[in-house]
Amino acid sequence: MNRRTAFFGLGAIGLGVAGAISLRGETSKTALVSARADKIVKTEAEWREILSPAAFAVLRKEKTERPFSSPLDREKREGIFHCGGCDLDLYSSETKYDSRTGWPSFWAAIAEDRIGTKTDYYLVYPRTEVHCARCEGHLGHIFADGPQPTGKRHCLNGLSLTFKAA
């Protein structure tokens, strides 16, 4: 391969990567359309007032907390996990399991209308990002390596959740 071919080949790869990364911003605006009657919409300033800086980074800026840093990863009591932004009940302890990934993991939400998904290209390859259907707070990602009966792993940030024991 000559230098010119290599240069243009690497340039094309670079443009592809840049395009995939730019899609992340586009999908975050268009893919999360919810028909919920109880939809919650707040300004960034209003979210900053009610959330801790760490929870704001996860729920509103789609950041990820460090693995093994959330006490909810080790939560074993019966109860319900709620959205940390709007308190919508999202996941039951009945579907929680130890995925050994360092984040709270579930094989299903309480109901499909409680969550929304979109394709995330942040790491260049596509992933399924999961959000609260009511406030669109970022929860984490869904992977296809979970236990039965769904085969799904809802890998969530503990900072995006609150827990209420039964």
132 is known as an active-site residue: no
Q: Is 26 in a helix, a strand, or coil?
A: helix
Per-residue pLDDT, averaged over 37-48, amounts to 94
The reply to whether omega before 149 is within 30° of 0 (cis) is: yes
Of 83, 86, 135, 155, which residue is the catalytic one?
155
Q: Supply the pTM of this predicted model.
A: 0.79
Could you read off the pLDDT of 49-88 as tens digits, one per residue? 999 999 999 999 999 999 999 999 999 999 999 999 999 9
Query: Domains of the chain: which residue ranges?
Result: 3-165
- Is the per-residue pLDDT at 17 higher than 80? no
pLDDT band at 37 (very low <50, low <70, confident <90, very high): confident
Strand ranges (DSSP E) for the chain?
A: 79-83, 89-92, 96-97, 105-106, 115-120, 127-132, 138-143, 153-156, 161-165
pLDDT band at 35 (very low <50, low <70, confident <90, very high): low
Share of the chain above pLDDT 90, in %: 73
Quick one: CATH architecture of 3-165?
Answer: Beta Complex (2.170)
